[in-house]
Amino acid sequence: MHDIHLQTGARGGIPIREGVEFQAFQDSTQWAWAAAVTLAAALGRALEAEPRARLLLSGGRTPGPAYAALARAPLAWDRVDVALVDERWLLPDEPDSNARLVRESLLADRAAAARFESITCAGRSFEEAVTIANMHAAHPAGVVVLGMGDDGHVASLFPNMSGLDSALASPRPYVAVDATGCPGAGPWTRRVSLTPAGLAPAHTRLLLIRGAHKRELLDRVLAGNDPMEFPVRIAFTTPGAPLRILWCP
């Protein structure tokens, strides 16, 4: 049931487990455009229903091309609030910050009119950053883009991270994390992360992944339910919207 290797070449999304749909693309161009179309449609629907739409974006190496494609969508971007799923304790202009990725890939073209909420900023303490992220989340995000690290982490929730259990159980949308000792965190161990409580209200959940390794890992992820083993499982174990997964080599 979870063997997504059988799904290569599929044209539409395929239900891969309850509440999870998987779609494979031949290349990154098709993948990025499919992500952009999905996100633009979800934002368009949200903007028809409410004055402002809220979009939460992941960082890392994967989603840039999808954000660049989305930036061209003809939406009322001046009514879209863009915020981050997670952030490393870096200033927004630093090359490895998730804020910089979003600025450079999405906040160009038409999407430059969107309002962007950085989690970090010069002069803001770590504690203030978490508090402000939670204040912004008082307007819950409708559309959330998740990524999956090579170790099965999601946002900044890493396998074997100290305090992972309390982060998963937190009633707050964002928590401070210390990913010391987690290889997947690289040198950026101090981070702010979305929690399952922050993900739950979203009406659209998209997981963007690329590469053979992540495809194999996804089989293992989908075969179980425990987010302590693979935190990315919160994408489908958190009650709420179904999860759509888009993959390409």
Ligand X SMILES: O=C1O[C@H](COP(=O)(O)O)[C@@H](O)[C@H](O)[C@H]1O
Which CB atom, from 132 or from 182, has the smaller least distance to ligand X?
182
Which CB atom, from 58 or from 105, has the smaller least distance to ligand X?
58
- Return all residues near 243 (Cβ < 8 A) that are at least 6 apart: 19, 20, 21, 205, 206, 207, 235, 236
Nearest distance in Å: CB 149, ligand X: 4
Nearest distance in Å: CB 152, ligand X: 10
Which CB atom, from 109 or from 151, has the smaller least distance to ligand X?
151
Residues near ligand X, by CB under 6 A: 58-62, 85-86, 98, 147, 149, 155-156
Which CB atom, from 51 or from 187, has the smaller least distance to ligand X?
187
208 — phi, psi (to 5°)?
-105, 120
Residue number with the smallest Cβ distance to ligand X: 60
> Quick one: 139 exposed, middle or buried, by C-beta within 10 A (0-12, 13-18, 19+)?
middle
Which CB atom, from 33 or from 188, has the smaller least distance to ligand X?
188
> Quick one: 110 exposed, middle or buried, by C-beta within 10 A (0-12, 13-18, 19+)?
middle
Name the residue with tokens 């209200």: 201
Nearest distance in Å: CB 47, ligand X: 25
Nearest distance in Å: CB 49, ligand X: 27
Which CB atom, from 79 or from 190, has the smaller least distance to ligand X?
190
228, 229, 230, 236 alpha-carbon torsion, rounded to 10° = -60
Nearest distance in Å: CB 63, ligand X: 7
Q: What Cα–Cα distance (Å) separates residue 135 from each residue in 119, 131, 141, 155?
A: 11, 6, 12, 18
Rounded Cα distance, 137 and 111, in Å: 21
Nearest distance in Å: CB 58, ligand X: 4
